[in-house]
Amino acid sequence: MFAIRRSRLVSLMYLGAIVGLAMFLPEAVFAQPYKAAVGYNQLATELGGSLETGAGVNVALVEASFGAANRYMPDTTNSQFSGKTILEGSGATNGNSSHALTVGQYYFGNSSSMAPGVTNISVFEAGSWINSRLAPGGGGTPLTENFRVSNHSYVARTADVSEANAVNYLMRMDYYINQSGTTVVVGTDNDTTVLPRLFTQGYNSISVGLSTQSTKNFSRGFTNLYGNGRVKPDIVVSLNEGTGMDYTSFSTAIVSSAATLLHAKADTLGANAADARRPEVIKSILMSGATKEAGMNWDRTNTRPLDETYGAGQLNIRNSYYTMQGGQFNGHLSTPTSQIGLNGWDYESSLAGNTSMFYEFAVGSGGVQDISMMLNWNIQVTDTDAGANFLPAATLSNLSLSLLDSSNNVIDFSNSPVDNLEHISLSSLNSGTYRMRVDNLSSFSSSFALSWRMTAVPEPGSGGVLLLFTMGMLARRGRRPRV
């Protein structure tokens, strides 16, 4: 009953493709301003040859058929894909897709992406992928796969899929993410403010919009099914404002490329690698790294963690990379006995219901600025049917995030009644000792990911603003007994 047939049950629309557009993009386009705008060029300059390339990370590209049934593959002979193995995951294609070509170039192209080292890619037609992976056999249990990142630059709109079917597919996608550990990046729609039903309104995926809303419209705002009132998109990015190239399909691919780079960085973290690869950790680090650009008029409230247009802000891979590099730190169930660095993250597999966890940090005499703290957790989906069909039911934990001073007074907090994320963003903090507090307000245990970044301001006379990369003794190298 859940099988997708594009002509009847749901229509899957590729995003932002103009027929022939991607076929004729000049190579000069791929010296793109977006790499500077998202911090990649600066990061590459700072790290040189030591910057990860995505090598060793298996990825998936899921594309709606372009122009004809089962026409979903990029042109694998394109120079951006030389040295790569690109598999036809949905069987023989009926021809190349210019949309898939451009999305693939921004996702894993040799010079056009932030993950040029990716060599193993599986490409699927979207309807086939949903039928064979989310609802195999017409309603079976979603598959568990080994893709680290999966890009979905297509949507199904209100007229394309019923509300009941959309909710079912969204829960299946969230289940798939939990079981496979895949970072799934999905697009919003173009030329409308209306949120599509698939797959933008999920919990565990990363939804992507445009940072150039003033010149290119895209869907945004509050979810209206499967948990009303959550803000989407989660993060935004644009290719090159004013060129006509700003489409959510391609911005989605850029975020997938950034996620792939972070997965490659996670592989270098030894005992902490498994935690760093988790989809909620990658999502948290990407979102805490996002910047609030001039002109966005970005804002949040204590009960609305994200901006209604720009989510957490514009992707900044440099911020996110150094947040991951800052290290994994232990939280404490009581008074902390050690401090965390000014950039870092944590993953906790279980925080008991009605329990709090604390993270203490010290700010030097110069203070800090540009503070971003992001708490993420996945919605849990279970099968309620004892038979062959998969009947999903979802359970959402209720967590909150607070920033406290040394006397445990609350400076700021984020406590959304509907989201699976919380966000605190501040312009500055004076010198002193502070704590982040994660509260599990549920009656049952919950896992979570937490990431944070801030810029230390040196004392007068010591030079410009410096970003402290806190590694070494403070960073956690494997689990320690919790205090």
DSSP, collapsed to helix, strand or coil, labels residue 209 as: strand
Assess whether 19 and 68 both reside in one domain.
yes
Residue 3 lies in a domain: no
Assess whether 198 and 256 both reside in one domain.
yes
Residue 475 lies in a domain: no
User: Can you tell me which residue has the tokens 């698939």?
Assistant: 198
Assess whether 261 and 409 both reside in one domain.
no
| pLDDT average, residue stretch 105-112 | 96
Q: What is the pLDDT of residues 367-395, one digit of tens each?
A: 999 999 999 999 999 999 988 899 999 99
Assess whether 366 and 220 both reside in one domain.
no
Residue 137 lies in a domain: yes
Within 8 A by CB and 6+ apart from 52, the residues are 117, 261, 264, 265, 267, 268
Give residue 243's pLDDT. 55
| % of the chain with per-residue pLDDT over 70 | 87
Give residue 467's pLDDT. 43
Give residue 476's pLDDT. 44
The residue range of the domain holding 114 is 13-322
Whether residue 233 contacts residue 313, with contact meaning beta carbons closer than 8 Å, is answered with: no
Residue 347 lies in a domain: yes
Tokens standing for 284? 């948290």
Give residue 121's pLDDT. 98
Whether residue 260 contacts residue 108, with contact meaning beta carbons closer than 8 Å, is answered with: yes
The DSSP bridge pattern shows strands 149-152 and 154-155 to be: unpaired
Q: What is the pLDDT of residues 192-218, one digit of tens each?
A: 999 999 999 999 999 999 998 555 789
Burial of 335 per CB tally in 10 Å (0-12, 13-18, 19+):
exposed
Give residue 280's pLDDT. 98
Distances (CA, A) of 303 to 85, 289, 306, 402, 416: 46, 21, 9, 12, 4
* pLDDT bucket at 105, cuts 50 / 70 / 90: very high
Give residue 379's pLDDT. 98
Q: What is the pLDDT of residues 288-298, one digit of tens each?
A: 999 999 889 99
Domain boundary among 278, 305, 322: 322
Residue 18 lies in a domain: yes
Q: Which residues pair with 395 in a beta bridge?
A: 380
Residue 322 has pLDDT above 60, yes or no: yes
Residue 51 has pLDDT above 80, yes or no: yes
Residue 281 lies in a domain: yes
Number of domains in the chain: 2
Assess whether 201 and 117 both reside in one domain.
yes
Residue 311 lies in a domain: yes
